[in-house]
Amino acid sequence: HLKLIVGRLQSKVALVTGGGRGIGRSIVEAFVREGAAVAVLDRPGEFAADQFVGSLKGTGAHAVALEADVADDEAVAGAVAAALAEFGRIDVLVNNAGFSQRKPFVELTLADWDNIMSVNLRGVFLVTHHVVPAMLHAAQGRIINIASQMGQLGAAQLTHYCASKAGVIGFTKALARELAPDITVNAIAPGPILTDMTKGREPGWYEQIESELPLNRLGLPEEVAPSAVFLASDDGALFTGQTLGPNSGHVML
C-alpha cells in the first residue's frame, strides 16, 4: 500500500543552535517543512532569530526563539530547560552555532584562540551536555554537529578555527560510540557555503575558490540542510559517528 506522504520529521522536536541565519536558518526551515517543531536558539541581540521565528509561527509551525550564548553554561541550561518546558522533549539537536576568524598564526592572541574554542567547541559540549540527559531518558535521539571541511583539510590563517572543527569531528565520533545504540551522533562538514561568514571576501576570492572546487561553485545554505534532514530522519538510522560532506567535492574521503 502507498502510504500518505507526510513529513519525514513529523512529530519530532528539534533544537537548532545559531538558527537565526545562514546554514542554521536553512536547517530550521527544512525541519519545519518536514513537520518538526523547532526551538531556534541564537545569541542575545540576534534579532533576526525573533523575526524568523515570528514568520515561522505565521505559517502555523510550532516554533520558539531561545536566547543564549552557547559558550555560557548557565544561559544554555536555561535555554534547554525552556525548550523542554515548551515541547516536553528534544528528539534532534543540531549544534550549528559557530564563527570563523582569519589571522596569521604568529598574530593570533590567546583571546582569539579562546573565543573560537569557547563557541565552536565548548559550545558544542555545553549544549549537548544539557540536552543528552533528556535524550537518555527518552532512550532515543539524534545529534548533528556542524563541523567544517576546514577540520579535515586545514587552511592557512585558520589554525584555531580548523582545530575547533577537527575537535567537533573527534567529539562526534567519541560520543557516537558512547551513546549508541539509542542515540546517534553525526557531523556535517560543509565546504564553502554562501552565508554572512563567506560574504564580503576580497575580490578574486570567489573565482579562486570556485576554480579549486570540482563542482565549480560554492554551496548554498539550503544545499546543506538536506544532510541534516537525512541524519535526523528514519532514513539516517544506520549512520552514527559519520561526517557527511556537502562540499562541492573539495574533500573526498
If phi > 0 it is left, if psi is from -120 to 50 it is alpha, else beta; for residue 168 that is alpha
Tell me how far, at minimum, the Cβ of 21 lies from ligand NAI, in Å: 4
Three-state SS at 124: helix
Distance, in Å, from the CA atom of 116 to the CA atom of 13, rounded to the nearest integer, reads 29
Tell me how far, at minimum, the Cβ of 36 lies from ligand NAI, in Å: 19
List the catalytic residue out of 31, 125, 161, 171. 161
Tell me how far, at minimum, the Cβ of 98 lies from ligand NAI, in Å: 2
Bridging pattern class, strands 63-67 and 92-95:
unpaired
- How many residues can be counted in the chain? 253
Tell me how far, at minimum, the Cβ of 140 lies from ligand NAI, in Å: 25
Distance, in Å, from the CA atom of 54 to the CA atom of 64, rounded to the nearest integer, reads 8
Tell me how far, at minimum, the Cβ of 165 lies from ligand NAI, in Å: 7
Nearer to ligand NAI, 10 or 51 (CB): 51
CB 70 within 8 A of CB 96: no
Nearer to ligand NAI, 4 or 211 (CB): 211
Nearer to ligand NAI, 21 or 62 (CB): 21
Give the footprint of ligand NAI on this chain (CB under 6 A). Answer: 17-18, 20-24, 42-43, 46, 69-71, 96-100, 119, 123, 146, 148, 190, 192-193, 195-198
Three-state SS at 41: strand
List the beta bridge partners of residue 13: 37
Nearer to ligand NAI, 43 or 130 (CB): 43
CB 192 within 8 A of CB 219: yes
- Our CA angle for 147, 152, 154, nearest 5°, is 105
Nearer to ligand NAI, 45 or 181 (CB): 45
Q: What's the distance, CA 157 to chain centroid?
A: 23
CB 68 within 8 A of CB 76: yes
Whether 161 sits among the annotated catalytic residues: the reply is: yes
Contacts of 48 (CB under 8 A, 6+ apart): 20, 21, 42
The set of catalytic residues is 161
